[in-house]
Amino acid sequence: MRLRGCRVSEPINRPWGGSCRIVEWIDATGQISRRVVAEDVTVAQVRATIQQHVQGRKHTLLDDEGSPRQTLPRR
């Protein structure tokens, strides 16, 4: 899988306990994807998360449902 970029957030403390991180990546076509992972995620687990990602439901505001998926222009 070819990526244009990937980043992992700093730990985010949840009010009900435990922490998590957000993995965000941009594929070769410019589509942005995000997943929540455990705070102590390893590099291998980040790779596996990206490779096993399946397109799921897109959560948007009701007035935003008709808009296309968020993409970044290619340079």
For residue 41, being part of any structural domain is answered with: yes
Residue 41 belongs to domain spanning: 3-53
Report the number of distinct structural domains present in the chain: 1
For residue 28, being part of any structural domain is answered with: yes
CA angle centred on 24, ends 29 and 10, rounded to 5°:
160
Predicted local distance difference test score (pLDDT) of residue 58: 57
Predicted local distance difference test score (pLDDT) of residue 64: 52
Query: Is the separation of the CB atoms in 20 and 40 below 8 Å?
Result: no
In this prediction the pTM is 0.66
For residue 62, being part of any structural domain is answered with: no
CA angle centred on 8, ends 40 and 59, rounded to 5°:
105
For residue 66, being part of any structural domain is answered with: no
- In this model, does residue 55 exceed pLDDT 80? no
pLDDT band of 16, cuts 50, 70, 90: confident
For residue 70, being part of any structural domain is answered with: no
For residue 64, being part of any structural domain is answered with: no
- In this model, does residue 42 exceed pLDDT 90? yes
Predicted local distance difference test score (pLDDT) of residue 34: 87
